[in-house]
């Protein structure tokens, strides 16, 4: 596990997991939300997203968390390990609401500078619909990857913690 991609629904715990895994493995962690959002929720253009990722993937070791399906292939093709946090939508929705309350009027550590925490109906719908709208596409992409890549699917907070404990023991 040298080049690791972490994907999953909003609220699945990608950033927290990436931070913990990065600490255990002593690896640079790149939160795509930090890199792809400018102040006041201004998105970084796709060509800049591609440039940023192409620079990161040149490094010997890294962890990247985030979905961004328009540029996901860059990460999936370069990573040796892909971790899909396939967490239930009720847990994800609960975590998104909890996060909004915790960081109200603040920028959370895994978000672009100047992007105060917010929640809106389209995002809540995206999280709720993720299992039917996005999950099948993700699973199809993962199934189509080269057999030399390690694909790990973690389906519950318990499995996530067990995985981190196992990596820490090694």
- Tokens 């596409």 correspond to 137
Q: Would you place residue 170 in the very low, low, confident or very high pLDDT band (cuts 50, 70, 90)?
A: confident
Q: What is the mean pLDDT of the chain?
A: 95
Predicted pLDDT of residue 105? 87
- Tokens 């999950």 correspond to 135
Residues 85 and 12: beta-carbon distance below 8 Å: yes
Task: Quote the CATH superfamily of domain 3-169.
Answer: P-loop containing nucleotide triphosphate hydrolases (3.40.50.300)
Give tens-digit pLDDT for 33-85. Answer: 999 999 999 999 999 999 999 999 999 999 999 999 899 999 999 999 999 99
The full DSSP string for 108-170 is: -TTS-TT--B---HHHHHHHHHHHHHTHHHHHHHHHTS-TTSEEEEE-SHHHHHHHHHHHHH-
Candidates 78, 72, 76, 77; CA nearest to 50 is: 72
Predicted pLDDT of residue 79? 97
Give pTM, 2 decimals: 0.94
Domain boundaries, the chain: 3-169
């Amino acid at each position: 596990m040298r080049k690791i991609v972490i994907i999953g629904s909003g609220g699945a715990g990608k950033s927290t997991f990436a931070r913990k895994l990065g600490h255990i493995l002593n690896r640079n962690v790149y939160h795509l939300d930090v890199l792809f959002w400018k102040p006041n929720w201004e998105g970084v253009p796709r060509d800049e997203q591609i440039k940023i990722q192409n620079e990161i993937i040149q490094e010997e070791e890294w962890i990247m968390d985030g979905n961004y399906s328009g540029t996901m292939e860059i990460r999936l093709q370069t990573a040796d390990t892909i971790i899909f946090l396939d967490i239930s939508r009720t847990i994800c929705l609960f975590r998104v609401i909890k996060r909004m309350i915790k960081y109200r009027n603040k920028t959370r550590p895994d978000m672009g500078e100047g992007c105060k925490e917010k929640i809106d109906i389209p995002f809540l719908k995206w999280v709720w619909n993720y299992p039917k709208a996005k999950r099948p596409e993700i699973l199809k992409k993962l199934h189509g990857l080269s057999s030399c890549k390690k694909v790990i699917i973690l389906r519950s907070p318990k499995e996530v913690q067990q995985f981190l404990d196992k990596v820490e023991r090694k």
